[in-house]
Amino acid sequence: MRLASRFGRGSNLIYSNSALADDEIRAVAPSIFAEAAHESRSGRYTYIPTIDVLRGLRKEGFQPFMACQTRVRDSGKREHTKHMLRLRHAGQIVGREVNEIILLNSHDGTSSYQMLAGMFRFVCHNGMICGEVQNDIRVRHNGDVVGEVIEGAFRVLDSFEAITEQREAMQGLALNDGEQAAFARAALQLKYDEVTAPITEDQILMPRRIEDRSNDMWRTFNRVQENLLKGGLRGRNASGRTTTTRPVNGIDQSVKLNRALWVLAEEMRKLKA
C-alpha cells in the first residue's frame, strides 16, 4: 500500500509504508538509474550509479521507503540531477517514529554522496532530518564509492541512539505559551529570512491532529515543522494581499529547513534543561 501523496501524476516523489521496488523508484527518479555521468564531468570523475549503491545497501539490510529527484528546466539534466533516497534498516522498519538514513547524490557534479540521519513520524507521514549530533557522511566520486557509502550508512546508524535520547528529552520538556511563541518566531525567521513572514506564530503552532495538542518541546517542534513544510496556511504578503503558503518540495530547501529546525529545537531544549 502506497501512502497518499499530494504530488499526483508526473510526480518527482514517492513514499511508501513498504519497501520500494526499482520500477517504482525509476518512475519518479530516473536519475538514480543513470547509465553514465553527465557530459560536463571530467575523466577524473568516478561514475558509480546510485542504483549500484542502493543494491549494495540492500544486501546489508537497508531498504528504500522514499525516493525523489529535483525538478529541472534543462531536460538534458533530468537523467543526472540531484536525487534523494530515505532508507530504513532491518529491525527498524515500523514504529511510531522510525529512524532513517537519507542518501543524497547526483551524477552532474552538484552533489557528492551524502548521508544524513533522519526520522519518519507516522502520525503525519512527515520526514524529519536530525541536526548535528549524528555522523554526516560525504563520499566523493572517486575510489571505492560503494564500500565507503555502505560503511558510512552503518556509521549513521550508530548515531541513532543519541538522536533517540534527544527526542525523549524533548518529549519530557514542557514549554509555556511564551516559550512556544519564541520557538515559532525563530522558526519563521529560518524559513523566511529577511522577507516578512506572511503567517504568524499562532498559525504554525496550530495542531493538525489531536495527538499534537500538547505543550512539550517535541510536539511543539512537530507542529511547527509540519506547518512550515506542508504549507497551505492563508496569510498576507508584504503588500497586504491574501496568499497561501507553499509546501517545501525542493531537496536542498527541505534538507536545510529540516536540519535547522531540529538544531533550533535541540538548542532550546539545552537552554531549558
pLDDT at 75: 59
Q: Where are the alpha helices (DSSP H) in the chain?
A: 22-28, 50-59, 145-158, 160-171, 177-192, 201-205, 217-230, 251-272
pLDDT in tens, 233-263: 999 988 889 999 999 888 888 888 999 999 9
pLDDT at 171: 93
pLDDT at 95: 64
Closest of 48, 127, 46 to residue 85, by C-alpha: 127
The reported pTM is 0.81
As a whole number of angstroms, the distance between CA 98 and CA 269 comes to 21
Q: Would you kindly state where each structural domain of the chain is located, as residue ranges?
A: 13-159, 172-272
Instruction: Give me the chain's average pLDDT, please.
Output: 82
pLDDT at 4: 34
For residue 118, list its beta bridge partners. 100, 129
**Amino acid symbol at 228:** L
pLDDT in tens, 140-163: 767 777 888 888 888 888 888 888
Q: Which residue has the higher pLDDT, 48 or 199?
A: 199
Closest of 102, 99, 242, 73 to residue 159, by C-alpha: 99
pLDDT in tens, 9-19: 345 888 888 89
162-191 mean pLDDT? 93
pLDDT at 92: 66
Residue 39 has pLDDT above 60, yes or no: no
pLDDT at 195: 80
Give the percent of the chain with pLDDT over 70: 82
Residue 7 has pLDDT above 70, yes or no: no
pLDDT in tens, 99-142: 888 988 887 656 678 888 888 877 666 778 887 655 678 877 67
